[in-house]
Amino acid sequence: MRVEFLGGIRTVTGSATLLERGSLKWLVDCGMFQGGKQLEERNRKVQPYHAKTLSFILLTHAHIDHSGLIPKLVKEGFRGRVICTKATLDLCEVMLRDSGHIQEMEAEWLNRKSRRSGGEEANPLYTVNDAERSLKYFQSLNYDDMFSIADGVKVRFKDAGHILGSAIIELWIEEEGQERKLVFSGDLGSSDQPIIQDPTWIEEGDIIWLESTYGNRLHKSREETVQELLKIVQEAIANQAKVIIPAFAVERTQDVIYTLSQLMRKGSIPSIPIYIDSPLAISATEIFKRNSDCFDQETKELLLGGENPLEPPGIIYTQTTEESRAINEDQRPAVIVSASGMCDSGRIKHHLKHHLWREASHIVFIGYQGEGTIGRRIVDGAKTVRLFGEEIAVKAHIHTLGGFSAHADQKGLLEWLSHFENPRLEVFVTHGEKKASIELDQLIREQFHFKTTIPKWRERRVLFGAEERIAPEERMMEVSPPEETLHVLLRHLDRNYKRLRRKLKRGRSKEFRDLYWLKDLEEINKKLEELEIKLE
């Protein structure tokens, strides 16, 4: 069988893997690239398959960097099933719709700009309508149920403990009378995360895809992190200031609500307003309440005792933009939780504009800040950042609290891997920025002696076969229609010719004197002339 690494490779976004066995083709995850123009361009690039030829998509969890291109695929003719857990389906309903809305807004913004400059019209990647239409292809599967999805292909979802409904995907594939097992870690949670379960240990597998978001970092313990947050909130209360928390609408927001709720219950902080200023986070919290079967023991017990840790006193959900604006008039010390988590879109940008320049305010980062995002710039110590066309000074207290992460750290990833019993396990290190993947890759080889690879983007490989990996360049020739191949070849020829000319110009022709390059060039020239004559 064959695999192509389509995303979540040397980056944490755009997760997607194409698998092929004979004529059967399917994807594991279908995520959107985020974080800068260059990466995001990949969302529009032609995929190396026709959406119509895919039989199904297996989805690890609802985060947009894993699910965000599904509506685009449906728009392009995908008519198979998207298999995921029930909670993932519920979350995708609100998240994909929200993503469609963001796509529409962005296209509109671009169009306003291009109309002024007489440029071309931009189409949204997909619309709210496309997102809604894609939902009818979703089908849910319970954790731990074995499901035969095609002849000789079975799948099972295990709790990944990352966000509500998140799954590790186990995949058994029969080929030429042999059954092999692939495991996709998806995003793995850390074991002391509240509300949801810990990641499930897996013992069997032949090849696994392992995420490496924090492959080069260790988190502080949960307890230390809660203490840090407590100190920040106390200081803000003493100074009548605000605490701004950019948070991903799913999981991080609920985690913050849970933690503040516990601190209030213990009397560590008084009941202050907690604004949840993100319509998506509000819907997500509702979905959490509907899927309490996914909760861990501790949370289930709290609920049984009549206490809902997702509804602390003082919590204020702001749905409309007017309500959101009114937050600025509240003079009391307060916590404002808003999305997006990496500060690139959503209402958080307004709150940053109001508070980044105030010395008394606190900005608390609790999630991963991807390369190229506004959040990453602030964390990296930028003196100013640009928001809504205005340069805003960064004077507020900036905090990063790693212990709130929804991802396992280096230790957690290695611990999860240690449960595999197969000494010949092969590991693809994915879903991490280059540095993180490299460090984890090295540790895995040292500690477990597994065969490891950090794949390249769009690299293709043959699994369980004698064939070697196929480099992206060679593959291009192999799968492209002749016309496209011709253009690629001509481009290469042009580029190589120009390079050679430059070298000769720089006076390096003497170095070529002893080589037989003159003869080679003569030959190439002759071939080109022949071709041209044939075309006439």
Residues that bind Zn ion (CB under 5 A): 63, 65, 187
Nearer to Zn ion by Cβ, of 10 and 63: the residue is 63
Shortest separation between residue 192's beta carbon and Zn ion, angstroms: 18
Q: Is 284 helix (H, G, I), strand (E, B) or coil?
A: helix
Nearer to Zn ion by Cβ, of 217 and 358: the residue is 217
Nearer to Zn ion by Cβ, of 187 and 277: the residue is 187
Shortest separation between residue 160's beta carbon and Zn ion, angstroms: 9
Shortest separation between residue 93's beta carbon and Zn ion, angstroms: 17
- CA-CA distance, 468 to 440, in Å (whole number)? 24
- Residue 527 neighbours by CB under 8 Å, 6+ apart: none
Shortest separation between residue 61's beta carbon and Zn ion, angstroms: 6
The DSSP 8-state label assigned to residue 468 in this structure reads P
For the chain, the C-alpha Rg in angstroms (whole number) is 26
Nearer to Zn ion by Cβ, of 211 and 228: the residue is 211
HSE on the CB side for 2, CA within 13 Å?
A: 15
Shortest separation between residue 64's beta carbon and Zn ion, angstroms: 9
- CA-CA distance, 420 to 202, in Å (whole number)? 6
Residues in a beta bridge with 25: 20
- Residue 349 neighbours by CB under 8 Å, 6+ apart: 343, 374, 387, 388
Nearer to Zn ion by Cβ, of 64 and 128: the residue is 64
Shortest separation between residue 487's beta carbon and Zn ion, angstroms: 35
Shortest separation between residue 186's beta carbon and Zn ion, angstroms: 7
Nearer to Zn ion by Cβ, of 197 and 318: the residue is 197
Amino acid identity of residue 471, one-letter, is A
Nearer to Zn ion by Cβ, of 63 and 458: the residue is 63
Q: Is 145 helix (H, G, I), strand (E, B) or coil?
A: coil
Nearer to Zn ion by Cβ, of 187 and 441: the residue is 187
Strand ranges for 414-504 from DSSP E: 426-430, 451-453, 460-462
Cis peptide before 340 (omega within 30 of 0): yes
Sheet order of strands, 16-21 included: 138-140, 81-84, 56-58, 24-30, 16-21, 2-7, 460-462
Shortest separation between residue 274's beta carbon and Zn ion, angstroms: 24
Nearer to Zn ion by Cβ, of 190 and 318: the residue is 190
Amino acid identity of residue 431, one-letter, is H
The label of the residue with tokens 């396990």 reads 425
Amino acid identity of residue 457, one-letter, is W
Burial 447-462, CB ≥16 within 10 A → b, else e: ebebebbbbeebbbbe
- CA-CA distance, 237 to 350, in Å (whole number)? 22
Shortest separation between residue 39's beta carbon and Zn ion, angstroms: 14
Q: Using DSSP, how many helices (H) and how many strands (E) does the chain show?
A: 18, 22
Sheet order of strands, 315-317 included: 315-317, 274-277, 334-338, 242-246, 362-365, 397-400
Shortest separation between residue 32's beta carbon and Zn ion, angstroms: 11
Nearer to Zn ion by Cβ, of 324 and 430: the residue is 430
